[in-house]
Amino acid sequence: MNILILGSGGREHSLAWAVMQNPKCDRLIVAPGNAGIAQIADCAALDIENGGAVVSFAEENAIDFVIVGPEAPLATGVADRLREAGVLVFGPSAEAARLEASKSFTKEICDASGAPTAAYARFTEAEPAKAYIREQGAPIVVKADGLAAGKGVIVAMDEQTAVDAIDDMFGGAFGGAGAEVVIEEFMEGEEASLFVLCDGEDILSIGTAQDHKRVGEGDTGLNTGGMGAYSPAPVLSAEIEAKAMDQIVRPTIAEMKRRGTPFQGVLYAGLMIKDGQPKLVEYNVRFGDPECQVLMMRLGAQVMDLMQAAAEGRLSETQVNWADDHAMTIVVAAKGYPGSYEKGTVINGLDAMPEDSSNMVFHAGTKSAEGQILASGGRVLNVTARGDTLQEARDRAYAMVDGIDWPQGFFRRDIGWRAL
Ligand code: AMP
Ligand code: GLY
């Protein structure tokens, strides 16, 4: 098969790495890709949020299967355009992608399906929103309804912070994403993520993970896209995972089907677990980044068959072949991230890395120039390893990190502290 992956991050490098290992894969193109992806696949410049351009590209290159990495092309309907053109695609329709693109839509689905989640109210005007905050008190969570690149959620520990967040959102700080605001009850507990493939009707769990969102050790400092992750997540025991599937994911998928907008792709359920009970924090309609990197390390080539089965509506015929293993990824980022940082600095030491089925450096923001690898983004490398235990995976990953020579980079030394 000729396969096209859309995206350019560590998530897409790990997807490409897994797909490449499947004998079904004759040719792999990643658009736009990065320097690490270019070492294993063809990269092509393409406006991946333009459905027409993606369809033309797929037709010109005789693509049999498209895998959509990030949420933005899904929200703009790229998967719909591909399906209309008769191209097999892994990823939900724009209508089903609202599970990520609209927080109030997700709340509506939770109400209709009885999925446990935080109590909430929706507002389109500031004054009633502020009155509600005063009535409920802090801590309280204020969310811009739309996609805000992970920045639209304010967990307010006091009322004033929440009220200020309302002013920011209705003041246009998040553009159209903040035209509607969801205010939620603050949930206590431990967060973990569950990843489930869906073909519109059937579902298949492909693993659990936990990430570290804060930039600093001890989970302190500013929020980032994620500084490291590991799989499985010990807090999501088989019993709690089964509850999450039965009470949250399955009813959601059934409700989407009932509405005539079935969900096909990967559903990433962000969960809060307390006293053995999972509650939904949010859905994403794509793989997490960097969670995908640890899932791909554990699943390997079979993920290609599973994604294809999801796209073709035959998930019920499949199963996951699990090894009893653990994986961890350490994000190496440019100093200054998530604030401003330097670009174009040289990364050395990557050639000497052991790269095999248990050790991989997945690239995120990199480009190559004159035979050198240069940093071109905030999160730059995802150093990923697998082991029989989480400790073994962690020791391997940090041994690789220590072999990287990049003075302008930094990473956290404590990924996985909660689980170890
Ligand atoms: P989201 O973008 O919805 O995942 O929110 C970002 C982060 O905010 C989550 O990963 C949680 O850590 C936190 N968060 C969101 N909603 C709540 C809530 N209702 N209670 C506590 N923390 C929350
Ligand atoms: N690592 C969090 C996310 O991908 O949304």
The verdict on 293 and 196 lying in the same domain is: yes
The verdict on 6 and 88 lying in the same domain is: yes
Among 297, 317, 337, the domain boundary falls at: 317
Is the predicted pLDDT of residue 257 greater than 90, yes or no? yes
The pLDDT value given to residue 111:
96
331: in domain: yes
CB 303 within 8 A of CB 17: no
Q: What is the pLDDT of residues 395-417, one digit of tens each?
A: 999 999 999 999 999 999 999 99
172 Rama class: left (phi>0) / alpha (psi -120 to 50) / beta: left
CATH code: domain of residue 263: 3.30.470.20
The verdict on 133 and 16 lying in the same domain is: no
185 CA closest ligand 1 atom index: 19
Residue (of 205, 204, 102) closest to 152 by Cα position: 102
The pLDDT value given to residue 176:
77
102: in domain: no
Name the residue with the closest Cα to ligand 2, atom 2: 288
278: in domain: yes
Domain that holds residue 344: 326-410
CATH code: domain of residue 55: 3.40.50.20
Structural domains counted in the chain:
4
CA distance 277 to 283: 17
Cα 208 to chain centroid, rounded: 12
The pLDDT value given to residue 64:
98
pLDDT category, 172, cuts 50, 70, 90? confident
Q: What is the pLDDT of residues 280-302, one digit of tens each?
A: 999 999 999 999 999 999 999 99
The verdict on 265 and 230 lying in the same domain is: yes
Closest ligand to the CA of 103: 1
Is the predicted pLDDT of residue 170 greater than 80, yes or no? yes
The verdict on 25 and 126 lying in the same domain is: no
The verdict on 199 and 176 lying in the same domain is: no
258: in domain: yes
pLDDT category, 306, cuts 50, 70, 90? very high
Q: Measure 128 CA to ligand 1 centroid, in angstroms.
A: 22
The verdict on 239 and 167 lying in the same domain is: no
CB 383 within 8 A of CB 396: no
Q: Measure 165 CA to ligand 1 centroid, in angstroms.
A: 15
416: in domain: no
The pLDDT value given to residue 201:
97
Among 295, 317, 339, the domain boundary falls at: 317
CA distance 403 to 127: 55
CA distance 129 to 167: 10
108: in domain: no
Q: Measure 413 CA to ligand 1 centroid, in angstroms.
A: 24
pTM, full prediction: 0.96
The verdict on 201 and 282 lying in the same domain is: yes
Q: What is the pLDDT of residues 45-78, one digit of tens each?
A: 999 999 999 999 999 999 999 999 999 999 999 9
Is the predicted pLDDT of residue 177 greater than 80, yes or no? no
Q: What is the pLDDT of residues 339-391, one digit of tens each?
A: 999 999 999 999 999 999 999 999 999 999 999 999 999 999 999 999 999 99
The pLDDT mean for the chain works out to: 96
What residues does ligand 2 touch, defined as CB less than 6 Å away?
A: 211, 225-226, 284, 288-289, 291
CATH code: domain of residue 343: 3.90.600.10
109: in domain: no
The pLDDT value given to residue 178:
73
The verdict on 221 and 289 lying in the same domain is: yes
Question: HEC profile for 105-166?
Answer: HHHHHHHHHCCCECCEEEECCHHHHHHHHHHHCCCEEEEECCCCCCCCEEEECCHHHHHHHH
The verdict on 65 and 139 lying in the same domain is: no
Among 99, 191, 211, 382, the mutation site with the greatest number of ligand 2 atoms within 8 A of its Cβ is 211
Among 185, 217, 238, the domain boundary falls at: 185
Is the predicted pLDDT of residue 150 greater than 80, yes or no? no
Is the predicted pLDDT of residue 83 greater than 80, yes or no? yes
The pLDDT value given to residue 173:
82
pLDDT category, 253, cuts 50, 70, 90? very high
How many other β-carbons are positioned within 10 Å of the β-carbon of residue 358?
16
The verdict on 163 and 270 lying in the same domain is: no
CATH code: domain of residue 139: 3.30.1490.20
Q: How is residue 215 annotated by DSSP?
A: E
Name the residue with the closest Cα to ligand 1, atom 3: 282
Is any ligand 1 atom within 6 A of the Cβ of residue 96?
A: no
Q: What is the pLDDT of residues 258-267, one digit of tens each?
A: 999 999 999 9
pLDDT category, 151, cuts 50, 70, 90? confident
Q: What is the pLDDT of residues 187-246, one digit of tens each?
A: 999 999 999 999 999 999 999 999 999 999 999 999 899 999 999 999 999 999 999 999
The verdict on 152 and 224 lying in the same domain is: no
272: in domain: yes
Cα 28 to chain centroid, rounded: 21
